[in-house]
Chains A and B, each alone.
Chain A
Amino acid sequence: EVQLVESGGGLVQPGGSLRLSCAASGFTFSSYAMHWVRQAPGKGLEYVSAISSNGGSTYYANSVKGRFTISRDNSKNTLYLQMGSLRAEDMAVYYCARKNMTTHDAFDIWGQGTMVTVSS
């Protein structure tokens, strides 16, 4: 079964750090660009970050640039999001998603999400 499973969410104080993981299975992870998308409670979807299939290229939304780092370990079929200098506005469910060229670059597989709570 093709799936993505996120982990690593939790409660963190403002200014703190957290690392999210996204474990992929059922497909050739190293062939796909991967993305992070977040959703604040009761709000819409917000794009966060992207990484190319080999990890050589990355992209960050302005809202997280300089604070978040996306990376991947293709030998472990795992995507990461290192989050630092966390703010109240970073509190959200974080989803990892697979971009698929056969679906015109749409995100065809999503994880179940992991909740990040930023509070003192």
Chain B
Amino acid sequence: DIQLTQSPSFLSASVGDRVTITCRASQGISSYLAWYQQKPGKAPKLLIYAASTLQSGVPSRFSGSGSGTEFTLTISSLQPEDFATYYCQQLNSYPPTFGQGTKVEIK
């Protein structure tokens, strides 16, 4: 199975901050990477697919980049509604594994 390692696992930030989360894959996955946002008690929500394509309806302050084994999710200016846990997922091969998550909390 392909392992995904997210860093950091936890980050504390303020409204307006630029935030970057990294996801590293144990082997190359081309651009078959997605990012999800999950709020407490809710289902995950797709933010970005194909490493850098914004899902319809997702604010443009979210962006993704990378290919191969290293990927990043960036929030250009953190908003109050962005405090949540973020997961990466690889879709290159089965099983479509998830990273362990990055919890973004208010400083």
Contacts and interface: CB of A to CB of B under 8 A. Distances in A.
A61 B44 contact: no
Contacts of A50: 94, 96
A94 to B, nearest CB: 11
A95 interface: yes
Contacts of A44: 87, 98-101
Contacts of A35: 96
Interface size bracket, A side: 20 to 34
Interface residues of B, number: 25
A50 B91 CA distance: 13
Interface string A85-120: 000000000010000000111111011110000000
Contacts of B98: 37, 44-47
Contacts of B87: 44-45
B55 interface: yes
Given A45-B87, A104-B50, A106-B34, A61 B95 contact: yes
28 contacts: A37-B98, A44-B100, A44-B101, A45-B38, A45-B44, A45-B101, A46-B98, A47-B95, A47-B96, A47-B97, A50-B94, A59-B94, A61-B95, A103-B53, A103-B55, A104-B31, A104-B50, A105-B32, A106-B46, A106-B50, A107-B34, A108-B49, A110-B44, A110-B45, A111-B43, A112-B42, A112-B43, A113-B43
Interface of B: 31-32, 34, 36, 38, 42-46, 49-50, 53, 55, 87, 89, 91, 94-101
Interface of A: 35, 37, 44-47, 50, 59, 61, 95, 103-108, 110-113
